[in-house]
Structure 1
Amino acid sequence: MIGATGMVGAHILNSLIANPAITRIDTISRRTPQAAAEAPQAKLTTIVTNETSTWASQLSALTPTPSIFISAFATTRGAAGGFENQYKIEHGLNIEMAKAAHEAGSKVFVLISSSGASKTSSIPYSRMKGEIEEDIKALGFEHTVILRPGLIAGTREESRPLEAAARFVAGWAGKLHSTLKDSWAQEANVIGRAAVNAGLKALEGDVPAGSEKVWVLSGSDIIKLGNESS
């Protein structure tokens, strides 16, 4: 897994650790995931390095080969120093790691994308997400699972004032009634559980008809799968 230190990624990792069907977890990241820092887990192996150029080779060297590869890796325009750098980092590393996972023999690729993702979008961010999706699908994993959440509700470590305001609205709407929120915002922990459950289902071939190769989950699908017991 990559992206284990992010908002959704941390919840994915916690779900992986808690799931009895998962026997081994390997993460590659630039800093130690919170789950490992707080209480090292027996089935969790963390590879921590700032040299992202080595991540693909680190993945290729894993034994046994991971059956499922999960990417929740993303960055922001601000952190990257502009959209051009954001594209190079986010698109570049996701595709490089996907290629390494495919060549190593991983069967399922699970990607955390975004609502509105489309390679033909006029919005640069949505177009980048769409191009990441398309380039990963082109690799031909046995199963590609793409989650397209809307606004991600929950607590983020870094400050994003506009997102924080939207998450406040989402929380308020959800308290009134879940239907006022679920169509456009999903909780990070629910997305995390959905990613793990979807990956395991895909590995077993338990996917909806017509989604045998590529399974795309958005709002209501994510909530439904994220609320299923492991």
Structure 2
Amino acid sequence: MKTALLFGSSGLVGGHLLNQLIKDTNYSKIKLFVRSVPEISDPKVEIIKTNFNNLENHKEDIKGDDCFFCIGTTKKNSPVKDEYRRVELDIPREIAKIAKSNLVNSFIFVSALYANPKSSGEYIRFKGQVEEELKELNFPKLGIMRPSFLIGNRKEKRASETIGIFVFKLLSPLLLGPLKKMKPIHSETVAKAMIAVIQKDIQQTIFESNEIVEINKSHIVKKNLAELF
């Protein structure tokens, strides 16, 4: 039985991921690293109130088998430039380094569509820089998920994202070939695929949005066949 480490359980993908991990019999413990204690009661869940400004204090807590990182922010929620950089760049790489030093086997990271360390846009650039640093750490299993527009029930509404999803839903039939990765994707699909990447023998590190969908489909088929036989 394994221990999962989950960062970002209150977010759109993280919330679904927590539910999937609770149901997954491969995991006997789920460590939640949170700023504020959530209202959740499950024997598998261990809540760790975390000081993200001093992660070294939690070095002994960041121990387990598989680490799932879903933390992210927006310019609206983190208007101070240094804080935005810390959430999107510094925190994920600090946690990854600690996890690696503690011999955590897998690190699954929610990145972004078109992540690029040389991009002029901070969001895309920071995600790309984290991706590069994760590769250098040489985890036995590394999964980098690059979802497109996320569909799901957000706690806060983002007007620009809502419009983007609506437009791309209309355009979806036309998004073929290399443009398939731009189709909106459900947040639950991303969460399920994050676990599937660990459980399947996939020799791949970066998963574009359309590939995330395919991983989830094939994993469901394989699981259903296993249950039949």
TM-score using structure 2 length: 0.83
User: Retained in 2: the 8 A contact 1:31–1:48?
Assistant: yes
In structure 1, C-alpha distance between the alignment counterparts of 2:208 and 2:164, rounded to whole Å: 19
Out of 202, 211, 216, the position equivalent to 1:221 is: 211
Change beyond 3 A, Cα 1:56–1:104? same
Match of 2:198 in 1: 199
Tell me how far 1:177 sits from its aligned partner: 10
Q: 1:86 is paired with a residue of what secondary structure?
A: helix
1:158-210, Cα deviation, whole Å (9 max, x unpaired): 12111122234456667x8998x963211000001011111233xxxx113xx
Residues 1:20 and 2:36 are matched in the alignment: no
In structure 2, C-alpha distance between the alignment counterparts of 1:178 and 1:26, rounded to whole Å: 39
Out of 125, 132, 135, the position equivalent to 2:133 is: 135
1:97-132, Cα deviation, whole Å (9 max, x unpaired): 111111111011100000110111222211111001
Aligned-pair identity in percent equals 24
Taking the TM superposition and a 5 Å limit, the aligned residue runs for 1:1-230 are 1-33=6-38, 37=39, 39-49=40-50, 51-61=51-61, 65-170=63-168, 183-184=181-182, 185-201=184-200, 206-208=201-203, 211=204, 215-227=205-217, 228-229=219-220
User: Retained in 2: the 8 A contact 1:5–1:31?
Assistant: no
In structure 1, C-alpha distance between the alignment counterparts of 2:104 and 2:17, rounded to whole Å: 18
In structure 1, C-alpha distance between the alignment counterparts of 2:47 and 2:180, rounded to whole Å: 33
- 2:77 maps to a residue whose letter is A
In structure 1, C-alpha distance between the alignment counterparts of 2:11 and 2:59, rounded to whole Å: 19
Q: 1:26 is paired with a residue of what secondary structure?
A: strand
Q: 2:77 is paired with a residue of what secondary structure?
A: helix
Unaligned runs of 5+ in 1: none
Tell me how far 1:53 sits from its aligned partner: 2.8
In structure 2, C-alpha distance between the alignment counterparts of 1:222 and 1:56, rounded to whole Å: 33
Q: 2:22 is paired with a residue of what secondary structure?
A: helix
Q: CA RMSD in A?
A: 2.5
In structure 1, C-alpha distance between the alignment counterparts of 2:124 and 2:174, rounded to whole Å: 29
In structure 1, C-alpha distance between the alignment counterparts of 2:48 and 2:180, rounded to whole Å: 35
Change beyond 3 A, Cα 1:84–1:196? same
In structure 2, C-alpha distance between the alignment counterparts of 1:52 and 1:84, rounded to whole Å: 14
- 2:206 maps to a residue whose letter is V
Q: 2:64 is paired with a residue of what secondary structure?
A: coil
User: Retained in 2: the 8 A contact 1:2–1:28?
Assistant: yes
Q: 1:52 is paired with a residue of what secondary structure?
A: coil
